[in-house]
Amino acid sequence: MILTTTQNIENFKITDYLGTVTGTIYNSSYSSKGKKMSFKDMFNSSKYYNMYEEGLEDLKEQAFQRLKENASKLGANAVVAIQIDIEPFANSSTILVSILGTAVKIS
């Protein structure tokens, strides 16, 4: 499946617009692939930022997988005009990753 932030896909023609699709997930930004950050590690800035980055990348990948699953259910073979929104929950270590796009058929 082709995923793009642009409105068109070069060398392809959009034959059908199938609707808006989303991929959304939320979780603690202090965990990645089942590993959680220890309380002690939260005070080590390099470990903190490294774990935060790994956790965010993992969440984005999961959100993209959900986007592709939802597009496939509509019969799409591409998603165009993708937008990514990352929001932290106030007073929490939890972040929300939301991906929105338009499911299309291309030829």
Q: How many domains does the chain have?
A: 1
Joined together, the tokens standing for residue 58 give: 């993992």
CATH number (domain holding residue 100): 3.30.110.70
C-alpha to C-alpha distance for 26 and 3, rounded to whole angstroms: 21
Structure confidence by residue, pLDDT tens digits, 32-56? 555 665 656 656 677 767 777 888 8
Higher pLDDT, 21 or 32: 21
pLDDT band, very low/low/confident/very high, at 63 (cuts 50, 70, 90): very high
Mean pLDDT of 81-86: 97
Joined together, the tokens standing for residue 26 give: 């939320």
* Domain limits for position 47: 2-106
Q: Which residue, among 20, 23, 47, has the nearest Cα to 36 in the 3D structure? A: 47
